[in-house]
């Protein structure tokens, strides 16, 4: 197996590993929830949000803004993006180890071994992509 073939095989393994990494990262991330202005208006009209304490302290004359998010408390209805590091490590760890083993065997083996390693690794990461 010449150097160009080794480079190609290693690039394939790295590309599959990176694709699996992106997919796993996406699975381990809970997306944020941000309300639009129309959703905020609906919540205000329904009476399910409370007024911020700062507005109550300063009164109507001392506090003026055009933003509903500064007047009302929407925190119960909005959520920040959350990344689960433990789940990510648990899912990505085996993929990373398999990729490294495949790369090592490609660099130290012949073309038949390299082709088999690419196919084996591709089967292992199918469930993540």
| Confidence bin at 126 (pLDDT 50/70/90) | confident
User: Which residue segment(s) compose the domain that 43 sits in?
Assistant: 32-80
| Confidence bin at 58 (pLDDT 50/70/90) | low
Q: What share of the chain is helix, strand, coil (3-state, %, to 5)?
A: 70, 10, 25
Q: Which helix (H) or strand (E) holds 37?
A: helix 37-46
Same domain, 91 and 64: no
Distance CA 93, CA 17 (A): 11
**pTM for this entry:** 0.64
Same domain, 26 and 86: yes
Same domain, 40 and 56: yes
Same domain, 103 and 120: yes
Same domain, 36 and 21: no
Q: What is the DSSP string of 10-41?
A: HHHHHHHHHHHHHHHHHHTEEPPB---HHHHH
Count how many domains the chain has: 2
Same domain, 86 and 65: no
Domain end among 45, 64, 80: 80
Domain end among 80, 100, 120: 80
pLDDT at residue 3 in the model: 85
Supply the DSSP symbol for 32. P
Q: What tokens does 20 get?
A: 């699996």
pLDDT per residue as tens digits for the range 78-106: 899 999 999 999 999 999 988 988 888 88
Q: Across residues 67-74, what is the average pLDDT?
A: 79
Same domain, 94 and 107: yes
């Amino acid at each position: 197996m010449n150097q160009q073939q080794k480079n190609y095989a290693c690039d394939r393994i790295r590309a599959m590993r990176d694709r699996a990494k992106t997919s796993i990262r996406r699975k381990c991330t809970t997306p944020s929830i941000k309300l639009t202005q129309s959703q905020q208006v609906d919540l205000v009209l329904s009476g399910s949000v409370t007024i911020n304490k700062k507005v109550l302290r300063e009164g109507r004359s001392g506090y003026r803004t055009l933003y509903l998010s500064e007047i009302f408390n929407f925190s119960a209805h909005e959520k920040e993006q959350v990344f689960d590091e433990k789940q990510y490590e648990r899912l990505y760890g085996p993929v990373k180890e398999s990729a490294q083993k495949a790369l090592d065997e490609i660099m130290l083996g012949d073309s038949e071994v390299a082709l088999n390693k690419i196919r084996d690794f591709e089967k292992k990461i199918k469930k993540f992509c």
